[in-house]
């Protein structure tokens, strides 16, 4: 029986070292009580110092935590012992690998995490591959995500699974391949199969809301998709479903500003939606320093050809709004409220009618210049900034423009959407990723 004070002393910095040494000396004899302490949500001792002791004890500590995983009866105890089990380190890598075949799914899942924490998942890649076909979907997903983080050196193993099976591993192997290397990592047969699936789905594809955390889009009246792409310098269009186009745009937005990619490499060009064609992607940003002047130029050129062109930014997490409106080759309005100091310097043209209407509804002076001369200017303008922060979708609606956030299955649609390369994509390639079709 372990002296309970020894375990409590693990929570005291001045006594920890002596208590830890004493518990390690006890070896297997103290493991059961240490594991019970890890599982106890009411314990005054954090699970981490106890885990450090179990790590030093070695195989007996591993076996004790494994048994704790099997016997844990509450979600909290499973969570606590799972954390501890996955942190035992490189010394038990072989034990983790063996545990991938354990009959209890929770053990398999935590063994995958343990392998990843070791930083040597590549050494267990062959065993992890088998779990891609695990009947427990959480285990299979854990193995999939770990293999993705393992790196490109597992690509040959994944290709072998795609070519030879087993069949139950093939679907997730394709996902890992796509995440690691994108289309270049896929075989010709896999690429052809994906393209065939898209063709099969397209006849029944219906519009759906085009929503991302950060929403950037251009809107051009009519359905001249090919002409719009030529004006914008977009190339290599490839047909996609709405789900696939939106998923790519959203994923690219989250991956902006990496060493290899900017998020500007490709855009989703919709079919004609209720009289408008939309171009979605961070490349359409009318506000950010990298793209704003080019977007201004492109909208001007589009409006000269099609009568109108607009560009918008809307941060779906309260990150602000921007709008750019051009007509017949002239910029009518550019306005930004994103909380950045330079927003006010980007303003072009006079307020749009809807902007004046909203200011009137807020009991603010509809004339900006008159408002700036007022003593109440500062408070009024703060109120306006908060309102304008979320105004981009309303501006689009007020102009009768199809708003990607409002698109539904009932929105009239003519044609097929495409993913197209921007000049950035031509120069630098596109990010790897697996997407919904």
What is the rounded CA–CA span in Å between residue 214 and residue 318? 10
Does any domain span residue 296? yes
Q: How many independent structural domains does the chain possess? A: 1
Does any domain span residue 37? no
| 6 close to 22: Cβ distance less than 8 angstroms | yes
Report the sign of the C-alpha dihedral through residues 153, 157, 161, 166, in that order.
negative
Within 8 A by CB and 6+ apart from 265, the residues are 252, 283, 421, 422, 424, 425, 428, 429, 430, 431
pTM, 2 dp? 0.85
Neighbours of 265 (CB within 10 A): 23
Q: What is residue 21's predicted lDDT score, i.e. its pLDDT?
A: 87
Does any domain span residue 434? no
Does any domain span residue 53? no
Does any domain span residue 411? yes
Q: Which stretches of the chain score pLDDT less than 50?
A: none
Does any domain span residue 191? no
Does any domain span residue 358? yes
What is the rounded CA–CA span in Å between residue 16 and residue 149? 35
Q: What is residue 98's predicted lDDT score, i.e. its pLDDT?
A: 95
Range 363-389 burial, b when 16+ CB lie within 10 A, else e: ebbbebeebeeeeeeeebbeebeebbb
Q: What is residue 43's predicted lDDT score, i.e. its pLDDT?
A: 86
Neighbours of 423 (CB within 10 A): 15
Range of the domain at 355: 202-428
Q: What is residue 377's predicted lDDT score, i.e. its pLDDT?
A: 63
**Phi, psi at residue 134, to the nearest 5°?**
-60, 140
| 104 close to 138: Cβ distance less than 8 angstroms | no
Does any domain span residue 121? no
For 257, 263, 286, 421, the CA distances from 428, given in Å and listed in that order, are 13, 11, 22, 10
Q: Which H or E run includes 326?
A: strand 321-327
């Amino acid at each position: 029986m372990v002296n309970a004070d020894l375990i409590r002393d693990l929570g005291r910095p001045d006594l920890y070292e002596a208590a830890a040494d004493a518990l390690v000396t006890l070896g297997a004899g103290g493991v059961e009580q240490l594991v019970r302490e890890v599982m106890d949500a009411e314990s005054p001792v954090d699970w981490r110092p106890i885990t450090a002791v179990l790590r030093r004890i070695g195989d007996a500590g591993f076996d004790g935590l494994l048994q704790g995983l099997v016997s844990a009866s509450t979600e909290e105890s499973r969570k606590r012992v799972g954390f501890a089990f996955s942190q035992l380190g490189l010394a038990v890598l072989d034990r983790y690998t063996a545990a991938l075949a354990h009959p209890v799914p929770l053990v398999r899942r935590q063994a995958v995490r343990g392998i990843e924490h070791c930083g040597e998942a590549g050494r267990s890649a062959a065993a992890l591959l088998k779990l891609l076909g695990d009947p427990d979907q959480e285990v299979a997903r854990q193995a999939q995500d770990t293999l993705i983080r393992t790196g490109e050196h597992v690509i040959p193993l994944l290709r072998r699974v795609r070519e030879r099976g087993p069949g139950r591993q093939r679907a997730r192997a394709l996902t890992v391949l796509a995440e690691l290397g994108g289309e270049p990592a896929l075989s010709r047969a896999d690429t052809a199969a994906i393209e065939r699936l898209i063709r099969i789905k397209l006849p029944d594809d219906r519009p759906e809301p085009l929503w991302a955390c950060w929403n950037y889009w251009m809107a051009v009246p009519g359905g001249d998709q090919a002409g719009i792409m030529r004006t914008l310098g977009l190339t290599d269009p490839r047909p996609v479903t709405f789900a696939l186009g939106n998923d790519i745009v959203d994923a690219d937005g989250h991956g902006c500003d990496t060493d290899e990619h900017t998020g500007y490499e490709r855009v989703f060009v919709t079919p004609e939606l209720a009289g408008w064609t939309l171009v979605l992607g961070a490349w359409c940003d009318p506000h950010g320093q990298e793209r704003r002047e080019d977007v201004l130029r492109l909208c001007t050129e589009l409006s000269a050809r099609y009568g109108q062109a607009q560009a918008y930014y809307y941060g779906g997490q309260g990150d602000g709004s921007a709008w750019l409106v051009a007509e017949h080759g002239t910029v009518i309005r550019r306005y930004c409220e994103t909380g950045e100091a330079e927003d006010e310097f980007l303003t072009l043209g006079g307020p749009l009618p809807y902007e004046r209407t909203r200011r009137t509804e807020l009991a603010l002076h509809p004339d900006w210049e008159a408002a700036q001369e007022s003593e109440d200017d500062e408070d009024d303008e703060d109120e306006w900034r908060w309102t304008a922060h979320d105004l981009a979708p309303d501006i689009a609606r007020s102009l009768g423009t199809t708003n990607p956030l409002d698109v539904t299955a009932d929105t009239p649609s003519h044609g097929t959407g495409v993913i197209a390369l921007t000049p950035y994509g031509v120069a630098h390639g596109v990010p790897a990723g697996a997407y919904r079709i």
